[in-house]
Homo-oligomer: A and B are copies of this chain.
């Protein structure tokens, strides 16, 4: 099944390091939905920030945002931009000097609401400098930071977010900078979905479908934040809305990245490593599906091919579910059966099951995903 994304105006992100091979990413257009996160370190501490950027990148983060709130942060930025393996976005609030410093440091994108810079000449200076270096700008409206008059007139509504964002859009358009991305984050699913839908319609009426950065802001702690982000981003992505995503969790930011990937994989929008289905187990299970599943997850870390593995606790659904997977493993008492596309490969005592499974997985990779054959032994 193929999911269609609504076409948007793509923007190009690359750190301005002078290195021709610096990693670049497109957001929007026909490009895959991009996974983002944000550091929680002190940006002034470039080493700590880079360590976190490397950790995020290892998990598959494709763009990293860092806050640039004051001159010490800005001083840390050149080293971060130069050494980061992925495009860096500078998060700017209020202070146009921080924006100029970030542009100077060669960031790949700014997150900046131009209407929050009070002086129009300063706004022009920042926007023209960004445009001159081909640095896109994300307008990021959160429900907590609406334009005060719109908040008064429209309340904490999706409409107020859209109108606030459009003001920033019009400022940038008037200054001739149209490499834009827009986000509209509320902390609840229903308002966030309503806001992005309304913005999508609004932009299409104006024939300027800017790329949309999706997120639920302040989504919550690990479990609730994961669930809110999955539902909200899931509904929008399923409708074809959204070009890049961030899952804001009150947790180690490294936790955000697999959540984003899992959302995109679930909707068939990206592929990344194994797709493991595992039955929830029940009174019929004769092995620990949880332990077996975790063992398969550990094996999965060694490969990047999109192998489909089904982990089943019993024979009621085991063979059937295995038909839809590349490799299936179903538990029995002290032994387990391995299936290849639903055909029984063999039955193995518990102690040999994982070894046999790994062999079968490697065979599948060589047969069905030859581009990844170099990862097999």
Distance between A244 CB and nearest chain B CB, rounded to angstroms: 16
Of A15-23, A219-227, A364-372, which binds chain B? Answer: A219-227
Q: Is the CB of B69 within 8 A of A250?
A: no
Distance between A294 CB and nearest chain B CB, rounded to angstroms: 7
Distance between A315 CB and nearest chain B CB, rounded to angstroms: 11
**A318 surroundings in chain B (CB, below 8 A):** 144
Q: Is the CB of B189 within 8 A of A262?
A: no
A251 CB-CB contact with B under 8 Å = yes
Distance between A355 CB and nearest chain B CB, rounded to angstroms: 21
Q: Is the CB of A280 within 8 A of B262?
A: no
**A169 surroundings in chain B (CB, below 8 A):** none
**A190 surroundings in chain B (CB, below 8 A):** 1, 3, 267-268
Distance between A265 CB and nearest chain B CB, rounded to angstroms: 8
Q: Is the CB of B142 within 8 A of A317?
A: yes
- The complex places the Cα of A323 from the Cα of B276 at a distance, in Å, of 42
Interface residues on A, range: 35 or more
**A27 surroundings in chain B (CB, below 8 A):** none
**A227 surroundings in chain B (CB, below 8 A):** 226, 230, 259, 262-263, 266
**A310 surroundings in chain B (CB, below 8 A):** 187, 218
Of A35-43, A100-108, A129-137, which binds chain B? Answer: A35-43
**A residues neighboring B (CB under 8 Å):** 1, 3, 38-43, 49, 66-67, 69, 73, 91, 93, 142-146, 156, 187-191, 193, 217-221, 223-228, 230-232, 234-235, 238, 248-253, 256, 258-259, 262-263, 266-268, 276-285, 289-290, 293-294, 297, 310-312, 316-321, 323-324
Sample of 9 A–B contacts (CB below 8 Å): A93-B316, A144-B323, A188-B277, A218-B310, A224-B266, A230-B234, A231-B263, A232-B234, A250-B281
Q: Which 6 A-B pairs have the closest CB atoms?
A: A144-B320, A231-B234, A250-B278, A230-B230, A248-B280, A144-B321
